[in-house]
Amino acid sequence: MSFRHMWIHKRTEDFLYVMGFLAKLFLLYCSLLGFWGTLAYFFTIRVIESHWFTWVSQSNHLSMPVDYDRAEPWFRLQLNGTCNVENSLFNDWFTGHLNFQIEHHLFPTMPRHNYYLARPYVKALCEKYNLPYRVKPIGIAFCDVVRILKSSAELWQKVKSENKKCMKKFLDK
């Protein structure tokens, strides 16, 4: 949640929590690292956290096939738009239980640590109605992210090249 969002929506309580966190962080770490060291520490943690979040969220979404909007039931759309990453002690901890992404899409307000409890019921429902329930190892999910990004970059390069050719033809006339 950004400061702008808190200001516009008058989220005073959230603003006070964030300011309290930042004050505590700087009070505790400034004595150890100094002001600039604490600032560097804070931004380093934010960069690491954002990279982690991107990898975790994209491993469950980006590798799924993209299709034109079709009029499908909501449940099927949730299953087609995401997949789970295999659960293990490490995967559950590393992903913050967001390796149960199918359950997260179906029950967005359910606490993350309870997704594994819903999984057998969702899986049974999928089997009963012959719906896809996709699960993949975390390594495969991360490789899929790289593969999709590579193909997107190649497509972008192709479009850029075609655009240059088109502009050259246009300017030569």
What is the DSSP secondary structure assignment for residue 110, as one 8-state letter?
Answer: S
What's the pLDDT score for residue 34?
95
What's the pLDDT score for residue 29?
95
What residues does each domain of the chain span?
A: 1-51, 62-172
Q: Apex CA 121: angle with CA 120 and CA 127, to 5°?
A: 85
- Give 4-44 pLDDT, tens digit per residue: 888 888 889 999 999 999 999 999 999 999 999 999 999 99
By DSSP bridging, strand 84-85 and strand 135-136 are parallel
The token pair at 15 is: 């603003």
Residues 6+ positions from 14 with CB-CB distance below 8 Å: 1, 6
125/3 Cα distance (integer angstroms): 42
- Give 73-94 pLDDT, tens digit per residue: 889 888 888 899 999 999 999 9
The token pair at 21 is: 């966190």
* Residue type for position 70: R
Q: Tell me the whole-structure pTM to 2 decimals.
A: 0.72
